[in-house]
Amino acid sequence: MRFDIPKKIFALIFLALTCQAALADELLVSAASSLSNAFKEIGQAYEGKYPKSKVAFNFAASGALVQQIAKGAPVDVFASADQETMDLAEKQGLVAAKTRHDFARNRLVLIVPVKSKLTIKNLSDLAQQGVTRVAIGNPASVPVGRYSKHALDAAKMWAGIESKMIRTQNVRQALDYVARNEVDAGFVYASDAALMPGKVQIAFVVPLVMAIKYPLAQTSNSSNPVAATRFNDFVRSNTGQAILAKFGFQQP
Amino acid sequence: MDFAWASLALSLKVAGCATALNLVLGVAVGFALARLRFPGRDLLDSLLTLPMVMPPTVLGYYLLVLVGRQGWLGQFLHEHFGIQLIFTWQGAVLAATIVAFPLAFKPARAAFEAVDPQHEQAARVLGISEMAIFFRVTLPLAWRGILAGLLLAFARAFGEFGATLMVAGSIPGKTQTLSIAVYEAVQAGQDELANTLVLMTSVICVAVLLLAGKLAPGRIAQRT
């Protein structure tokens, strides 16, 4: 009888694996943090239109998502907040180049807590003494940090405020720190600022030479390329675009 | 490499400070729980053990809400002492201390409970003051157990990640401890840096565990 226990365990594992196979129309989408609210709603709309499909999301900084995919995460669709990260994924052969499309645009803004008494009208105002902490995505892996660094470099302000920077793991962490009044200002996207109107306010739109365009693409080792294409199309359909617009994104 | 050494130094500093705090707090609380009889003692013990079982993110959130600029404790400290804990290495010490505290006070309590009261009574009969009994009889008899617990607390504080990231952030050279540096390196795809950092962490953790094993209370029993 003793042999029965390993057998049972084996049977259970086998069952668990077959369950996985039964839900074949399941899609895993890795998307930039700034997309979380909009994509969750797009996911619901997608599941409503294709009732047999399931879509699960994995939100993080685009740079972190690429590393997960590179290490073998079973992702079907990747949506990045910048071209650079997608270029990296394409160069490493992680995504199928011909499935890559831009699907949204955004703006970089500097936000301050609603209660803030500081006058911040442009980047050089960040140098004033009253500003002690500025939240910014880590430029090494977070696109919003990279955009912010571009803007600060162009204004020759990066070195001046580097000591005030609180580096965050994704754009939403920067938003949260400003909303909690833990920092004096933060760099986020306009679509993020719009989520917390009662807590943060936009000080100004940060000027950038490049456009903030979001690309999405199918991964090369997607186990469900048909559904991946369908989701990719759905995001760019009128329904998908309407939801993105509702959350403050612009058309590509 | 400089970056790796800076993270290592910071981690050691944070874990060292947290362990020093836990030495005082752990011994005091461990002794109180072992010797004093009061209502709610078991409840207090459970509450103090919570940081060990609670997810670090929950703890980080509590701390953020409590000692943040808008938290009542944070505001109090800032207004009266000019102390800011959020985004400072002291904030990391606070997080590490709380997370590792159960590992310090639990073994201390057990060690104090294991001390034979006859030794203390003998000292009392000889007319030694209660204070002296604690430092010259009880503590020397319990210190191995306490130290073994403290080493585990050090290792836990050294590896603390979740609560620290939420409370202290990740400022290179200021609050970016070794475990946070590993996370950032992996996120940014800097595998070589990650390898170095991971190796450093592993070596230190193994050393601490070996030391803790040597000091484990069982050793005394084996020798006598």
Q: What is the ipTM score, two decimals?
A: 0.74
The answer to whether residues A20 and A51 belong to one domain is yes
Within 8 A by CB and 6+ apart from B129, the residues are none
A136 touches chain B (CB under 8 A): no
Contact yes or no for B95/B163 (Cβ under 8 A): yes
Q: What is the predicted pLDDT for the residue at A17?
A: 58
Is A161 part of a structural domain of the chain?
yes
Q: What's this model's pTM, rounded to 2 decimal places?
A: 0.81
In CATH, what number is assigned to the domain containing residue A10?
A: 3.40.190.10
Q: Which domain holds residue A162?
A: 108-205
> In which region does residue A156 sit, left (phi positive, over 0), alpha (psi from -120 to 50) or beta (all else)?
left
The two tokens of residue A198 are: 């009662």
Within 8 A by CB and 6+ apart from A35, the residues are A59, A79, A81, A214
Q: What is the predicted pLDDT for the residue at A1?
A: 47
Q: Please answer yes or no on whether A67 and B186 come within 8 Å at the CB atom.
A: yes
The answer to whether residues A196 and A121 belong to one domain is yes
The answer to whether residues A115 and A100 belong to one domain is no
Is A251 part of a structural domain of the chain?
no
The two tokens of residue A13 are: 């594992």
Q: What is the predicted pLDDT for the residue at A13?
A: 66
The answer to whether residues A201 and A137 belong to one domain is yes
The answer to whether residues A96 and A174 belong to one domain is no
A167 touches chain B (CB under 8 A): yes
CB contacts of B62 in chain A (<8 Å) are none
Count structural domains, chain A: 2
Closest among A34, A207, A248, A181 to A121, alpha carbons compared: A207
The answer to whether residues A96 and A219 belong to one domain is yes
Shortest alpha-carbon distance between residue B203 and chain A (Å) = 25
* Digit-coded pLDDT (tens) for A165-178: 999 999 999 999 99
pLDDT-derived band of residue A227, with 50, 70 and 90 as boundaries?
very high
Q: What are phi and psi of A125, to 5 degrees?
A: -65, -20
pLDDT-derived band of residue B16, with 50, 70 and 90 as boundaries?
very high
Map out the domains of chain B as residue ranges: 2-54+84-223
Q: Once rounded to an integer, what is the mean pLDDT over residues A109-129?
A: 93
pLDDT-derived band of residue A14, with 50, 70 and 90 as boundaries?
low
Q: Which CATH class is domain B2-54+84-223?
A: mainly alpha
Is A252 part of a structural domain of the chain?
no
Return the DSSP state at A130.
T
Angle at A112 between CA A209 and CA A57, to 5 degrees: 70
* Digit-coded pLDDT (tens) for A177-201: 999 999 999 999 999 999 999 999 9
- What are the DSSP calls for B186-197, one per residue? HHTT-HHHHHHH
Is A86 part of a structural domain of the chain?
yes
